[in-house]
Structure 1
Amino acid sequence: MAAANIAVLILTYNEQKHIERCINSIKNIASDIVVIDSFSTDDTVALAESLGARVLQNSWTNHAVQIQWGLDHANITSNWVMRIDADEYLESEPEMVFKELSSLPAKITGLIIKRKIFFLGQWMKYGAIYPVYTLRIWRNGAGRVENRWMDEHIVLMRGEAKAVDIDIVDDNINSISWWIDKHNSYATKEMIEILNQKYHFMPTDDALSAAGSTPAKSKRLIKERIYNKLPIFIRPMFYFFYRYIFKLGFLDRTKGFAFHFMQGYWYRTLVDLKVLEAEELIGMNSDPVEIKRILAEHTGLDL
């Protein structure tokens, strides 16, 4: 298949385990592969370049900043842009979808794909985990990334999105210890977002809320207007039972229980614990500038 007129953007940091699989899955449909690397110390850069990717390097702040930096500095000239993580890959080449990019009506400026999550080598089919709908392909210049510490999305600045039959597989092969460390970091950023919703110590990028109806928008509204309003430590229990019982997560068997418990209960409880800890540091303080200083000092993040 001839490559489509689409650039694929990949973020990396020490991804030598994953980068070859990722690039090989998209190299036949991409006219340009751009790796934005955070100064990896392993063979990530050499592997990416050997597979034909362009590599740019930029110091890491968060996902949103890094993606937008890539869009602003990679000199992308293709008609379309696609974002994929290094530990993800296209399950198969959906040739017809990419062939038809040039024939889509002008009003279609984004494509919503399905994300398939693997845990310990097993596809998580149940528990409201598949499909996860996410906008990952957009017309060059029509999309930008939300400026958020966590749960950032590509937001269309014009036009509308269309759902397509493309599966991106998220299958990280690092250890469980690595997975726990990653989610500990995520929990800190999630805590920042929750407390910012309450104390408003940083500007909030509400572009997704202002966008048209999308699965990501609906999910965020439920999270911010319902879940985050529930009592801490109670809400993770509700969420776990919703996923594991009502959404049939138990059908994912032993590894499924581990995933739904760790990602649906343990992780959400860790977020709440970090919220409780931070609230005690904030105390009676109501000054947004001081709250921001306290949280920046506590987390080590450049807020």
Structure 2
Amino acid sequence: MAVRIAGVINTLNEAHNIRYSLGTLLPWCDDVVVVDQHSTDGTADIAREMGARVFQHEWTGGIGDAARAFAVAQAQADHVLILDADEMIPPQLARYLREQASAEDSPDVLLVPRVNIIMGRIMRHGTNWPSRRARFFRPGSVEISGRIHHGLKPRPDARVREVPARPELAIWHFSYPDVRTVVDKVNRYTTIEAEQALSRGEPPPRSARPFLGGAARWFWGSYVRDRGYRDGTAGLVLAVSRAYYRFLRAAKMWEQPRAGEREERVTALRERILSRHVSTDPP
């Protein structure tokens, strides 16, 4: 019996992307599932009209693990391919995945490379390539982490294989179209990551070292060690944003435990100024 493959996408206001990602799944997948988090831009309608099976899931606050696990559970297939709404796959990768799924020695998990397009430029160096992810798997062979940026991890007993690092066998990830998107995502993700770190018991920073040292190491690693400078200005912007990410994560971890104290101090100052007006005769 032929192996069934399902493509799965999670969405939230992805009307500008969904036509492209779905367009690379519908021609060859046996089942295509879109799990939408109550988009307000017509994403679900577009996906439904294109032929995907669409489900709704409550908003997960920017952490998509619950919605992703739900999406995988809806897939009616022997193997599942996970795509983000801003990703596409070439026909060569589609054929390769079906061949691998149909082979007698088919692996449980395939680590698929990604071509990252950032601000219109294909990023060819450092961690941007091949940037493999566990995106093609048998249901039950991966763990879906609730920690941001941890994604899908093969289970210890899973048979894992790497897809060759060739652009035609890679997921194409249209990640950051502009600097504004970079800044927005850095701000959103650092808030989530700082909250998760504190909830796990990670101590907030007590000195300047975590702020500056961590940021400096990430810039050096991204721009110098991993040769991000070879990706031109986009490589510089990305390296600085990664350094700022570490700084902002540390700053938010430092700030959050002090939020109550800060509000009390601000309120006291405002009340003091106000009281001076109340106690002073009007001019």
State the distance in 2 between where 1:282 and 1:65 align. Answer: 31
Residue 271 of structure 1: how far off its partner (Å): 1.1
Residue 150 of structure 1: how far off its partner (Å): 4.5
Cα pair 1:136 1:154 within 8 Å, conserved: no
Which of the two has higher C-alpha Rg? 2
The yes-or-no answer on 1:130 pairing with 2:129 is yes
SS at match of 2:188: helix
Cα pair 1:120 1:173 within 8 Å, conserved: yes
Cα pair 1:150 1:193 within 8 Å, conserved: no
How large is the RMSD of aligned CA atoms in angstroms? 2.4
The yes-or-no answer on 1:260 pairing with 2:261 is no
Cα pair 1:144 1:157 within 8 Å, conserved: no
The yes-or-no answer on 1:187 pairing with 2:154 is no
For each residue in 1:180-218, what CA deviation from the matched residue of structure 2 results, as whole angstroms up to 9, or x when unmatched? 222211001111233244359xxxxxxxxxxxxxxxxxx
Cα pair 1:135 1:154 within 8 Å, conserved: yes
- Alignment-mate amino acid for residue 111 of structure 2: I
State the distance in 1 between where 2:260 and 2:157 align. Answer: 40
1:176 is aligned, of 171, 179, 186, to: 179
After superposition, residues 129-208 of structure 1 pair within 5 angstroms as 129-156=128-155, 158-165=157-164, 166-172=169-175, 175-199=178-202
- Alignment-mate amino acid for residue 138 of structure 1: F
Runs (5+) with no aligned partner, structure 2:
204-208, 262-283
Residue 261 of structure 1: how far off its partner (Å): 1.3
Taking structure 2 as the reference length, the TM-score comes to 0.79
Identical aligned residues as a percent: 25
Residue 37 of structure 1: how far off its partner (Å): 0.2
Cα pair 1:187 1:271 within 8 Å, conserved: yes
State the distance in 2 between where 1:182 and 1:246 align. Answer: 24
After superposition, residues 214-225 of structure 1 pair within 5 angstroms as none
Change (3 A) 1:112 1:12: same
State the distance in 2 between where 1:258 and 1:4 align. Answer: 43
Count of residue pairs the alignment pairs up: 248
- Alignment-mate amino acid for residue 51 of structure 1: M
State the distance in 2 between where 1:245 and 1:150 align. Answer: 23
Cα pair 1:36 1:70 within 8 Å, conserved: yes
State the distance in 2 between where 1:100 and 1:28 align. Answer: 18
Taking structure 1 as the reference length, the TM-score comes to 0.74
Q: In the alignment, which residue of structure 2 is the partner of 1:203? A: none
- Alignment-mate amino acid for residue 228 of structure 2: G
